[in-house]
Structure 1
């Protein structure tokens, strides 16, 4: 039965009131940035700000026109959901979105022990679904997806026109199922397909070990995201490292897409003395709240922080706070997300994920769309940034082009010597291909087929993940002493 005009007005108005004045329960979402603590959100509503039933008459009139005149029958829920989505899309904010009941169920998995998918954090950048960072040891990382890759389609279906959550719904799926992502990458003229098998993505977020160089014991702590219990795991592992008598510490947040604000706050309380705020939150009214630790002084050992373009949101809160406290930040410029979201209840299981505030560095700097610049800039070797090669025909002597250049860069990264990396397939390149094929017990032809290119990529990804040639980590260790 269709709702009457006054009923739809009341429903839409109630949804707005709930969105702006209630339901401040923090939810860790797959695409969320850091979230404010409950007492940091401004729950007051201005009655003269255009949210009263009188100002909603236009929406009510549009509802009536559609219900009375549209060719096909339209369900009330469809129109109400559409109205909410339309309001949020008009904000032109990629981080504000509508989550219906089904989406909420799926995204709530992010605070559980694992979820099923490809393991990539995504965001909306310039209207494109964009990889922020693949999760450590996930199908996305193993397939070679990287920050700033744009997703064009999923299993042949375009994601153009979809909001972020709708696109993610297409990407995620049951463990063991296959998904084909069409990717556009900077510096590559044509899009290419990446095929992955979905898997359980564990929410294990802290990894630590000790590396001894020249008699110095350095603790290395990698944080892959700021999820529920991340700070607890970090504190426990930090204490174990300190009990081993570490001489220095490297905190690695490369590829860390962010997460829950309170988790990064609790980690920063270990390092930022009480006379300096570790973060500042500015709400929509311009009111700034500063957060402090109870720490009397800095740690007795040197610390460096590793970042890259995949370090976003809460990772940037950590990096810039450490930087402005005097620690070295090593790597390349971070992603640049300086806003705070919260999922606000609409009373029926659905929520509005809304940007409520922006976060500032200890010195009051807003890094949004700018990123955190490292104190020590270090790029990884060129082979870290090679692209998958899909060949219609084999590459052979005297060929030229981007595919040849990519193959040469891969060979270089694996210790073979193609003689050049300018895209000309010379005799040295042919010899390098033959040497690789021989080492892999392949037919030794000197020609690069799809099989040879695929194996080159697999071996290169494995080599990168081993950390043997990690220039950024080497520099982070070097600047400590």
Structure 2
């Protein structure tokens, strides 16, 4: 079915001709070949991490592509425990009350709401969205949600001193240490810590965030968002409300 390649399109491709003209093709690599490696110990955190705890943290933090559907209901007071903000003509989750129907349904800070009960909300502001939610039936509210489009996750490995290499103040990353896992894995300043190992840390004190990082094992996955976007989403929300009433539960897998 196929012509011989010894003489194909006028080219002589016999082993002898190949050896004479392209010796590197047939020569096996030397048995003691030296592979170039970067100097020093450079460790980039693997995607899945090295520990079971690290893997679980990454799975909880994973930002899934595409759109997901969530079904929610109202509580006895007719509320779902949700606040939104509009950003660039989109509607985003700004606050999820702990132990609320919204939290139980799986809505997370930074989620983009695309539809509510098949009604497209693009271009709606906060007031229109909240008014529409109040009019929704109490027993079934269907959200079409895009998973945290302004956020990204980064997995890092702690060094021998149990550090990952960045400094934060009020949840905002302000400095990156040179030659650390944070630097090698692309952590940026002027970004806000949103989650650590999938747990929402918005509104928590720096000490509390540091404790979560310390307890996270050798592999830590953080979820971050540009600070200017974060500030717009949380604008006009009282710090006390965010710190005391925000859902900080650990997501189920």
Q: Which has the higher helix share?
A: 1
Higher relative contact order, chain-length normalized (CA < 8 Å, sep 6+):
2
TM over 0.5: no
- TM interval, shorter chain, is 0.3 to 0.5
Q: Which has the higher strand share?
A: 2
Normalised by the length of structure 2, the TM-score is 0.32
